[in-house]
Amino acid sequence: MKKIFLDLGRQPITNSYLNSVKKKELKKEFFYKLKVSFDKKNNLVSLSNFVRPSRMFNENYAHRASMSKTMLNSFKNLSSNLIKKFKPKKILEIGSNDGVFIRNFNKDKVVAVEPCKNLANITNKMGYKTYPNFWNLNLSKKIQKKFGKVDLIFSANTISHIPNLNEVFKSIKRILKKDGVLVFEDPYILSVIKNVSYDQFYDEHAHVFSLMAVSNLISEFNLKVIDLEKLNTHGGSMRYYISHDDSKFKVKGIVKKYLSLELKYKLNKFSTYKKFGAEVKKSKTQLVKLLKKIKKSGKKIVSYGATYKSATIFNYCKIDNKLIDYVIDTTKNKQKKYTPGSHLKIFSPNKQPFKRVDYYFLGAWNFKKEIFLKEKKFISGGGKFISHVPRVKIFN
Ligand code: JHZ
């Protein structure tokens, strides 16, 4: 049974950047109630109510995974490792975004699935066969008929976005060769808890996984976790390597190690999540207090990165242009628009209204390293950063 441990209030669709803040447009804005729950049956953390996927993943999808050097490098390294390790002849990617992963493979070896048509167009134009559809059993049958079974299935930040996980794993089970491997990565619940990064909960993140939850879900389909990699990307993710129960692969020691760690942190207990819920409330109070204090002294605060994550923060903490002046983002199709719900204007970093900014709020805190390298001049000029992760703090 699902039990709610966190109420993040009324939230907009994170991808719905507004063209204007005219009354007519604001009237059309869609909101839903964001609550997060824990299911004792399989230890899975999910949203209590899922938003209809077509509301979020459509031809207006804004996020481009290639916008960050960190992700470009991460997927480049991963691709060469996967080629060395598994020598895959046929590769399927579920949720290929703008091709940040598949660009590292030969075009004739890859088939991709991407429901956002604007993104599927990009990779189809690059020469990678991309189905502009949601991953489900019917699509997997269609692909299997045309391409046969595959050696490697890859998926980054996508499986956690799909409400019906049984259908996901059932269709993966069918299309994966006997000694094939599914490699997928998504934000890791233990990192979310440790960092109080409650902004990992938003419409698209239908679930945030633990290893326990993944193991429970896949065991129904005679699949097993054979290896893991803990990643720093996206503020703490886990990469799962999964095969058929009867594959040639042995389960690596790290799997047992993480299962014990998760038990140590009591990820199988509702009380753990309830405690986290209380930490989130504290984080909200501290952040609002800090922003108010800084604004009162007449300083300028700009948010760095119009992230989907920051939609949760701004709407939960009721942050508007009285507390944050505007947002900057390098993604062209976010610029000149307004953030969902909070209605902050988004500018290109090179075309900002202010010549001098005092504080950057790290909306893209997960790219802190990359941003700090880029912003050496801002830092040496006395500029400071604010982040709520791992605790509300000013730093440089
Ligand atoms: P970033 C999206 O979430 C949505 P978001 C999705 N649901 C998901 O799971 C994750 O991605 C993976 C900008 N930026 O990646 C680029 C700069 O402006 O944290 C991006 O718009 N300057 C699929 O949106 C944003 O920040 C920079 O120097 O929370 C980062 O968004 C850098 C490094 C980034 O994901």
pLDDT tens per residue across span 34-68: 999 999 999 999 999 999 999 999 999 999 999 88
Confidence of residue 396 (pLDDT cuts 50, 70, 90): confident
Pairing of strands 110-113, 91-94: parallel
Residues 252-284: pLDDT tens digits?
A: 999 999 999 999 999 999 999 999 999 999 999
Give 291 Cα–ligand 1 centroid separation in angstroms: 22
Tokens found for residue 41:
């049956």
Instruction: Indicate which atom in ligand 1 lies nearest the CA of residue 334.
Output: 21
Residue among 93, 96, 329 whose CB has most ligand 1 atoms within 8 A, to mutate:
329
pLDDT value for 168: 98
pLDDT value for 347: 98
Ligand 1 near 144 CB (within 6 A):
no
Give 245 Cα–ligand 1 centroid separation in angstroms: 35
User: What residue type is 363 in one-letter code?
Assistant: G
Answering whether pTM is above 0.85, one says yes
Ligand 1 near 371 CB (within 6 A):
yes
Confidence of residue 240 (pLDDT cuts 50, 70, 90): very high
Burial of 373 (0-12, 13-18, 19+ CB in 10 A): exposed
Q: For 370-375, what is the mean pLDDT?
A: 96
Is pLDDT at 80 greater than 90 in this prediction? yes
Find the farthest-apart pair of alpha carbons in the chain and give their distance in angstroms, rounded.
Answer: 65
**Measured distance CA(52)–CA(56) in Å, rounded:** 7
Give 340 Cα–ligand 1 centroid separation in angstroms: 15
Ligand 1 near 68 CB (within 6 A):
yes
User: What residue type is 115 in one-letter code?
Assistant: P
Closest CA to ligand 1's atom 14? 305
Give 305 Cα–ligand 1 centroid separation in angstroms: 7
pLDDT value for 157: 98
Q: For 337-344, what is the mean pLDDT?
A: 98
What is the number of H-type helices and E-type strands within the chain? Answer: 13, 17
Place of tokens 């047992």: 256
> For the chain, where are the E strands, in sequence order?
2-12, 31-39, 44-47, 91-94, 110-113, 129-131, 150-156, 176-187, 207-208, 223-231, 237-244, 301-304, 326-328, 346-347, 359-362, 384-387, 393-395
Instruction: Indicate which atom in ligand 1 lies nearest the CA of residue 69.
Output: 33
Ligand 1 near 313 CB (within 6 A):
no
> In Å, how far are 45, 125, 276, 323 from 271, measured between CA atoms?
13, 49, 9, 34
Ligand 1 near 310 CB (within 6 A):
no
Instruction: Indicate which atom in ligand 1 lies nearest the CA of residue 202.
Output: 7
CA end-to-end span of the chain: 44
Ligand 1 near 367 CB (within 6 A):
yes
The vertex-15 CA angle with 327 and 367, nearest 5°, equals 50
Range 215-251 burial, b when 16+ CB lie within 10 A, else e: bebbeebebbbbbbeebebbbbbbbbbbbbeebeeee
